[in-house]
Amino acid sequence: MRKHALIFPGQGAQRPGMGKEFFDTYKSAHSVFEEADDALGFSIKDIIFNGTPEELAKTTITQPAILTVSIAALKALEEELGTELSPACVAGHSLGEYTSLVATGMISLADGVRLLHLRGALMQQAVPIGTGAMAAIVGMEPCEVNEICVKAAQGEVCKEANINSPNQIVISGHCTAIARAVELIEAIGNIRVVPLRVSAPFHCELMRCVADKLKVAFAEIKWKTPKCPIVVNVSAKAMTSIDDIKDALFKQTFSPVMWYQSVLKMETFDTEGYIELGPGSVLSGLVRKITNTKKPYHVSGVEELLLAASFLKGETK
């Protein structure tokens, strides 16, 4: 099987009906949805398959839902191939990092969905609605964005939250500070700014209280050494130590997601391609912007799964 890296999407990739093809087609994927329902104590699959976009967008639902669909995609792909995948490394974007824990055997699926259900609830409670905001900036270098954030903060929080590619950066913080940053950027001209529809300002200092509570939850579950290195969001380092990964997860809650740097790190593993497992293809698009040496495959449906399987078996380029 071709040497590969697995990548897992974060919030924003969700859509009603995601993963239904896997549920209907592969027994292993069907089991993933059932196990997630049992662990959460309610039917998340019913919300995923039959709920409204608004219901699915609630962060307490979105986070465990995306993990469930991503792991269902992984199990479906393994069932199609007839063997477990052995990636050279894995990485996930924000909540996708929790998916990587499940995918590498660090924690159980049940613990994964429960952790993300808790994470979503804590994030929503941490900052009153209307207090925080996030915005995506396309066309500025990271150092330029940092300078803007420093000017706009004025005693409030205004920081880089996601470094997605060399010229795509998301900022997060108090809504008034983000508004000042957007005004400064728009005054420059020729730069695209997209306010994000989010329920809380993720990956900034306003989320530190969430990290403290998650740390308590980490101590209550069983951890195992991952079967391959996890390239973590907070430092873009490849880690296998349980303590190091738990610390990285703690810091990730209130620190920037260094996705651009994480892809560069995964490039050092000399893989032949990337497999994005779960809804959407955002990460595959970012990989294409960061490196044009390897083709990413996104697996959000059965047809895409078969293409990825052919690639892994060496049948296609």
Residues with active-site annotation: 94, 203
**Four-residue CA torsion sign, 286, 289, 290, 292:** positive
Please report, in angstroms and rounded to a whole number, the separation of the first and last CA atoms in the chain.
13
Stated as kind and residue range, the H or E segment containing 149 is: helix 142-153
- Determine the number of helices (DSSP H) and then strands (DSSP E) in the chain: 14, 10
What is the dihedral sign for C-alpha 154, 140, 276, 225?
negative
Q: Where do we find the tokens 């609605």?
A: 129
DSSP secondary structure code for residue 257 in this structure: B
Pair of tokens at residue 277:
């497992």
| Structure tokens, 308 | 């990825």
Say if residues 264 and 218 touch (Cβ distance below 8 Å). Answer: no
What type of residue sits at position 196?
L
Burial 80-111 (b: 16+ CB within 10 A, else e): beeeebebbbbbbbbbbbbbbbbbbebbbbeb
The encoded tokens of residue 105 equal 């055997």
**Which single residue is written with the structure tokens 């403290």?**
212
Tokens of 276: 């994005």
Exposure of 184 by Cβ count < 10 A (0-12 exposed, 13-18 middle, 19+ buried)? middle
